[in-house]
Amino acid sequence: MRDVKGAVMTGCLREDPIEIERRHIRMGNAWIARQEETVVQLDLMGVDELALDARKPLVLFYAFLASARERLNYLERNRPGKSTAG
């Protein structure tokens, strides 16, 4: 549920959409780092087929991260109360 300013309602607390996207970006970076480490470890172990399979989720993780970054940029550009004058 959102309040009148677009912030996400979490129980009685409101969460800023910009902070949500920043958290999503941190999460995406963590997922990518863990998955890349898994790929490296599988490569070092010589299990090429598993390493190849472990690379597949990275495509989704990178897409998720790009989407979160685009949304953050959009939210920052369109922040309520932000002056559009140069």
- Report pLDDT digits (tens) over 6-42: 556 555 578 899 999 999 999 999 999 999 999 999 9
Instruction: Count how many domains the chain has.
Output: 1
Examine the pLDDT at 71 and tell me if it is beyond 60. Answer: yes
Tell me which residue range forms the domain holding 37: 16-77
Residue, of 86 and 37, whose pLDDT is higher: 37
Q: Domain for residue 86, yes or no?
A: no
Query: Is there a contact between 49 and 78 (Cβ–Cβ < 8 Å)?
Result: no
Q: Domain for residue 59, yes or no?
A: yes
* Cα–Cα distance for residue pair 11/20, rounded to 1 Å: 15
Taking all residues of the chain, what is their mean pLDDT, rounded to a whole number?
A: 87
Q: Domain for residue 37, yes or no?
A: yes
Q: Domain for residue 63, yes or no?
A: yes
Q: What is the pLDDT of residue 34?
A: 97
Q: Is the pTM of this model over 0.75?
A: no
